[in-house]
Amino acid sequence: MLCFGGVPLRNGQIINGGGGEHDMGPWLRHAAKAGVRLINISPVKADMPEDVPAEWIPIRPTTDTALMLALAHVLITEDRVDHAFLDRCTSGYDRLRAYVLGETDGTPKTPDWAAAETGIPVDRIVTLAREVAGAPTMLTAAWSLQRAEYGEQPFWMLAALAALLGSIGKPGLGVGFGHGSIAGMGTIRGDFPTVGMSAFPNRANSIIPVARITDMLENPGAEYDYNGRRLRYPDTRLIYWAGGNPFHHHQDLNRFRRAWARAETIVVHEPRWTSAARHADIVLPATTTLERDDIASSARDRFVLAMKQVVPPQGQARDDYAICADILDAMGLRERFTEQRDVDAWLRFLYGRWHDQMGRIGHPVPDFDAFWAEGRVELPERADDVVPLAEFVRDPERHRLNTGSGRIELFSETIAGFGYDDCPGHPTWFTPREYLGAPRAAQYPLHLLTAQPATRLHSQMDAVGVSRDSKVRGREPIWLHADDAAARGLADGDVVRVFNDRGACLAGVRLTRDQLPGVAVLPTGAWYDPQDALCVHGNPNVLTQDIGTSKLGQGPVAQSCLVEVERFDGPLPQVTVHAPPATTEG
């Protein structure tokens, strides 16, 4: 099992919609005991659980595509590809092959070429290619690989590599994305519906990729490319934000903060004084999950859970539903919005609809009152194995894929037709603007990775408990290789200034030898606390660049970030972001 980005257990503990089963760790241990070789290809050894035996191949951040292309070069030149599979199930192999061999651009993607980009020795690249060709192999990539410049390329190339091996559609083999990125990925779950609401139509008929918020606010009316379309940014005067925190997840926060202030009115729903609340005109206090009744249900988990209210709403907090209903009431649309249901009636309606669906497919579940009393419904595991694309591989003509050719596309005429210079018709290596092989590394010689923290989920609960205990003198810890720290005269526990030309923050040094030299790891989620253009708490998004992955995906590129680190010797500023701001009784 070749794991690009590893399979970090910290991410496998969470799931959208809520989860009742944590099975990633046990399955990894089962696989290892069964004799599966696990190989962690990552700049960080901790991207594989400590109690799971795995080989670690350190790689320069964001160079995974180069390694994959070199593996393909070995497979092609040593005639280790599955020609029968390629002929039956793929299109465009000849175009990709010509690129890998250097026939189209004059640069063969040899192991020697890849070694210079990845930092992996030539002989290890060659033997790795032979190993994956010589044994049944599963290929995986963590979602973090997308969150870099040209982040579409490693995902596309990994699928192409699985196609060269002919492993797609076979039990336990092929390619999987997101293992170790969230719970439930790869879990064998029954093909059951979930408890949920239908989405309302977007009557504005306007969308933007979420990572392009700053561009939208800065450039109303400007045109941009996205997934083959030419779109236009709307002129946004009002921001209404319920759920999420852009001052946590967005990049280049100093630029974003200036763009955010362009809006005429900003309204947020918040239970806490987050940075989003502090940068809003109107804050509507919203309840937490402990202050309301709800149902947890996810397509990746076997449990439907009753989320019962534990305490009454605190202070002036109200449910999001109640807030929206009152706003719609002022617009004369309450009945249309609520459909004359209160919270209890909605929960009964949604569960009842699911109850009836389950009955129709032969899996009866308890009625709502029994479910609410018990607190959960556990759905059965599937008895049969689920093998993605197995039907397609058995009969590619009868079970055509939703691609232009109906096959796995190693070259896409559709994408090539977009004419994008940053995402052509086949997987391609582009030299990132910010990585350890870039000229910019002479000025900022550390590649900053912004991993999910092990002590919280994103920025949630940053002010309390295990998250606060992980801080170094009140700052978010930054993990440095011991050699990098020694070269800068730094010791464990020092407070440092982490900086580039986009911004700066303070962080507390932690030393390790379990990551690649030249790599710094500063987890996400420290609440943004800007004081004189310096985030004194350690939010890494004051450092990350805010550009799109490509014109195709327009995703975030937080993992493409170069910085420098120096000891902070001045008076240590107090972290104030967790204290509520001053208020006036009205």
**What percentage of the chain carries pLDDT values higher than 90?**
86
Q: Single out the residue of 427, 413, 402 nearest to residue 109, CA to CA.
A: 427
DSSP character at residue 525: -
- When pLDDT is averaged across residues 509-526 and rounded to a whole number, the result is 97
Question: What does the pLDDT look like over 204-257, one tens digit per residue?
Answer: 888 899 999 999 999 999 999 999 999 999 999 999 999 889 999 999 999 999
- Confirm if 162 and 383 have CB atoms less than 8 A apart: no
Structure tokens that stand for 542 in this block: 């004051």
CA gap 552, 26 in Å, rounded: 37
CA gap 434, 451 in Å, rounded: 17
Same fold, 2-189+387-418 and 439-567: no
Residue 302 CB partners (closer than 8 Å, separation 6+): 20, 21, 189, 190, 378, 379, 380, 381
The structural domains of the chain, with segments of one domain joined by +, span 2-189+387-418, 210-378, 439-567
- When pLDDT is averaged across residues 2-13 and rounded to a whole number, the result is 89
Dihedral pair phi/psi, residue 119, rounded to 5°: 80, 5
Exposure of 242 in the CB half-sphere (CA atoms within 13 A): 14
- When pLDDT is averaged across residues 96-101 and rounded to a whole number, the result is 98
- Confirm if 146 and 6 have CB atoms less than 8 A apart: no
Residue 142 CB partners (closer than 8 Å, separation 6+): 3, 4, 5, 6, 7, 8, 11, 47, 178, 179, 180, 181
Q: What are the distances in angstroms from CA 32 to CA 25, 51, 152, 226? A: 11, 10, 30, 42
Residue that wins the pLDDT comparison between 458 and 259: 259
Structure tokens that stand for 296 in this block: 């947890």
Structure tokens that stand for 160 in this block: 């192409």
Residue that wins the pLDDT comparison between 180 and 147: 147
CA gap 494, 498 in Å, rounded: 12
Q: What are the distances in angstroms from CA 389 to CA 134, 141, 163, 325, 405? A: 22, 18, 12, 44, 15
CA gap 200, 337 in Å, rounded: 10
- Confirm if 96 and 177 have CB atoms less than 8 A apart: no
Residue that wins the pLDDT comparison between 381 and 333: 333
CA gap 379, 423 in Å, rounded: 42
Calculated CA dihedral for residues 49, 52, 56, 61, nearest 10 degrees: -20
Residue 157 CB partners (closer than 8 Å, separation 6+): 65, 68, 69, 72, 427
Confidence of residue 475 (pLDDT cuts 50, 70, 90): very high
Q: How far is CA 514 from the centre of its chain?
A: 23
Q: Single out the residue of 339, 293, 332, 328 nearest to residue 313, CA to CA.
A: 293
Question: What does the pLDDT look like over 376-410, one tens digit per residue?
Answer: 999 987 777 788 999 999 999 999 999 999 999 99
CATH architecture assignment, domain 2-189+387-418: 3-Layer(aba) Sandwich (3.40)
What pLDDT was estimated at residue 107? 98
Q: Single out the residue of 528, 531, 548 nearest to residue 540, CA to CA.
A: 528
CA gap 247, 527 in Å, rounded: 8
Dihedral pair phi/psi, residue 122, rounded to 5°: -55, -45
CA gap 98, 549 in Å, rounded: 25
What pLDDT was estimated at residue 188? 67
What pLDDT was estimated at residue 17? 73
> Which of 238-242, 245-249, 298-302, 353-357 is least confident?
298-302
CA gap 389, 411 in Å, rounded: 19
CA gap 16, 331 in Å, rounded: 32
DSSP H or E segment with residue 519: strand 519-521
Does position 586 have pLDDT exceeding 70, yes or no? Answer: no
Q: How far is CA 364 from the centre of its chain?
A: 35
CATH number of 439-567: 2.40.40.20
- When pLDDT is averaged across residues 544-564 and rounded to a whole number, the result is 98
Q: Where are the alpha helices (DSSP H) in 54-110?
A: 64-77, 83-89, 93-100
Q: In whole numbers, what is the pLDDT of the chain averaged over residues? A: 95
What pLDDT was estimated at residue 20? 81
What pLDDT was estimated at residue 477? 98
Strand blocks (E) in 97-165: 138-141
DSSP H or E segment with residue 214: helix 213-218
Strand blocks (E) in 93-232: 138-141, 174-177, 223-226, 229-232
Quote the crossing angle between the two packed helices 122-134 and 64-77, to the nearest 10°: 60
Question: What does the pLDDT look like over 184-209, one tens digit per residue?
Answer: 777 766 678 999 988 878 888 888 99
CATH number of 210-378: 3.40.50.740
CA gap 33, 52 in Å, rounded: 9
What pLDDT was estimated at residue 111? 98
- When pLDDT is averaged across residues 89-117 and rounded to a whole number, the result is 98
Question: What does the pLDDT look like over 149-190, one tens digit per residue?
Answer: 999 999 999 999 999 999 999 999 999 998 888 887 777 666
What pLDDT was estimated at residue 83? 98
- State the chain's maximal CA–CA distance in angstroms: 77
Question: What does the pLDDT look like over 436-474, one tens digit per residue?
Answer: 999 999 999 999 999 999 999 889 899 999 999 999 999
**0.85 surpassed by pTM:** yes
